[in-house]
Amino acid sequence: MTALARHVNRLVTILTLALVAAVATGLHLAAQDDAPLWHETEAINPGLDAPPEDVDRSSPRVALRSFLKLAETGDFEAAAHVLNLSKFPQDAQAAEGAERAAKLAAIIDRKIWINWSGIPPEPDARASENDENGAQPRRDYLLEEFEVDGHIYAVRLGRYAADISDGKADDPVWLFSSDTVDSTDILYDAFGPRAFEGYIPDALKAKFGWLRIWEWIALPLLIAGVILVTWTTSKFIRLGRHISDERVLRLAFERAALPLSLVIASFVAQWLLGFVVSFSGPVTTVLTPTLVMVAVVGFSLAALRMVDALLDRVTRRYLGDKYDAPNSSEREFYTSIYALRRLILVITIGFSVVFVVMQFDIFADMGITLLASAGVLTVILGIAGQATLGNMVASLQIAIAKPVRIGDSIHYEGDWCIVEAIFFTFIRLRTWDERRIIVPVKFFLSSPFRNWSVVDERMLCTIRLVLDPMAEVAVLRERFNAIAQSDPEVIESEKLGTYVIDLSSRGLTVEFYVMASDPSAAWTVEVRLREELVNFIRREHPDWWWRQPILENGR
């Protein structure tokens, strides 16, 4: 009974805690439902005059449109009515409001490419596409966030309502938040007009399409300047190969010249955008990530090519300049070098992608849409890239297990081949007659092949001759031993063999066995010794050749 009572008490405690949690959750949700749909304030910009009729602040979209239209005409005093100036004294709100409106307009023009369809047109800023639980009203709308000196500053619209004497709130309006207004000086110093823009004539500052006239002129000049800097820097970096006679340094300078010049050109372009001139939002939105990606790609390629030059130097130092037929340890080393190259390539690409994603916060921008489509995208990529992914996994299997190595002699699909290279998705084989066979890695591993050098490079050569039964095998053995022992590519000459393996109506079948150092030498040894034996028989004993007997009456 005591144990039963303990279990009952424990169950009662758990149910009580669950009930308390449910009640607390309900109260929290109820409090949320009762929360006002705006920020309450004593008064909205009491230091300003009454808002003009063309200032509409009823929703985020119309408030932003009103602000930009007034700023475009230079009426910053009216545009100040779309700012929350509560942090400024009442007598300073008029002057501060016009100045802050001008700076904020310059920031938006240069850093934000506005997607009007994504800005809520409803007074309560309902946006069902951004909410998991359906259309929910909001009292804040984030337009954009920027990082300056390690700090995050937001350009945000908020919904505000002022209390009146009878305790009721006035009609709520949408304004740029007080934090946004307070950070305009910092954002303006970071992204506002640059020194060169003061020399641009006013006539060129008029808009033509999405951009100003001077931007249509400056953008091609900037691109041409980047190309010129890339070409000049590449030529200058290539001169570095004359600094040292070391092959690895010369090769590194040669291979990394173009990628490093891309990095330098990207930094020069970003410097120009940061100190000389700043383009408007549409150009900045495209140009800034493009320059960052060019720098990342250039740096990654430079690192890969320099590492590749170092690995090439290590390979040549260990194997020499010619490694068509290395020994077993050398082939394994060379295959490991290739695997290391592929691993470095994957790691570099992975870090580059992660850096770009983190730099522009792509995942955060995608938000729920990315999560919702992740399953479908995974299925599509899995189906479309099945062959490629399968070959990459098979290539990794070769790099780890090494069933075949670079330099191995194999017999594949009726051809004797040398494994010349192992890539991510295919293997390149070189045949004895200098042809190249390209085989997908997955298909290569799924088909049987003979690896003549997987354990030992030595190969036994077999020479078969069909002779007349009257041929003297002892004489053939003596002659074979003599020519085999004098051949420079024959090894283990004490293990030579001459055997009669068959006697039939087709004649006497004799096989000669000799050991060569590797499959490549084995083929040349075999054809050379066969020729010597044939010449010996034809010259000394032509009667030993087997002939088809002719019977009487054609039978």
pLDDT at 352 exceeding the cut of 80: no
pLDDT of 91 over the 80 cut: yes
Looking at residue 174, its pLDDT comes to: 92
Q: State how far the Cα of 431 lies from the Cα of 452, in Å rounded to an integer.
A: 14
Sign of the four-CA dihedral 310, 315, 317, 318: positive
> Taking the CB of residue 530, how many other CB atoms lie within 10 A of it?
15
Mean pLDDT of 310-327: 60
Lowest mean pLDDT, pick from 142-151, 213-222, 368-377: 368-377
> Higher-confidence residue: 162 or 330?
162
Is it the case that residue 401 has pLDDT exceeding 60? yes
DSSP-derived secondary structure letter, 272: I
pLDDT at 176: 93
Nearest-angstrom CA–CA distance, 306 and 253: 8
pLDDT tens digits, 180-231: 999 998 988 888 777 777 677 777 777 777 677 877 887 888 888 888 888 8
CA distance 258 to 264: 10
pLDDT in tens, 16-67: 655 655 555 554 444 444 456 788 888 888 888 888 888 889 889 999 999 9
CA angle 259, 261, 265 (to 5 degrees): 120
Smallest CA-to-CA distance from 69 within 123, 118, 114 is with 114
371: pLDDT confidence band, cut at 50, 70 and 90? very low
- Between 164 and 159, the more confident residue is 159
Q: Please state the length of the chain.
A: 555
Residue 428 has pLDDT above 90, yes or no: no
Amino acid 32: pLDDT: 45
Report for 105-109, 116-120, 193-197, 533-537: range of highest mean pLDDT: 533-537
More confident residue, 444 or 328: 444
Give the E-state strand segments of 385-506 in sequence order.
409-412, 415-422, 426-431, 436-440, 450-451, 459-467, 490-491, 497-504
> In this predicted structure, what is the pLDDT of residue 135?
63
Closest CA to 338 of 358, 366, 357, 319: 319
Token duo for residue 90: 């009442």
CB-based contact 111:154 (threshold 8 Å) = no
pLDDT at 393: 67
* 50-54, 311-315, 432-436, 533-537: range with lowest mean pLDDT: 311-315
Give 181 or 393, the one with higher predicted confidence: 181
Give the integer Cα–Cα distance in Å for 437 and 425.
14
- Torsion sign over Cα 126, 127, 133, 139: negative
Assess whether pLDDT exceeds 70 at residue 501.
Answer: yes
Distance in Å from the first CA to the final CA of the chain = 111
Tokens of 7: 């279990």
User: pLDDT tens-digit profile of 438-447?
Assistant: 888 877 877 7
Cβ–Cβ contacts within 10 Å for residue 75, how many? 16
* Stretch among 1-10, 263-272, 486-495, 518-527 having the lowest mean pLDDT: 1-10
With a cut of 70, say whether residue 287 has pLDDT above it.
Answer: yes
Selected residue with higher pLDDT from 217 and 391: 217
Question: What is residue 214's predicted lDDT score, i.e. its pLDDT?
Answer: 76
Tell me what pLDDT residue 83 has.
92
pLDDT of residue 132: 47
pLDDT interval class at 134 (50, 70, 90) = very low
Cα radius of gyration rounded to whole Å, the chain:
41
Q: Which two tokens stand for residue 87?
A: 């942090």
Least confident piece of the model among 247-261, 431-445, 488-502: 247-261
Helical residues (DSSP H) of 320-403, grouped into ranges: 328-360, 362-366, 368-384, 386-401
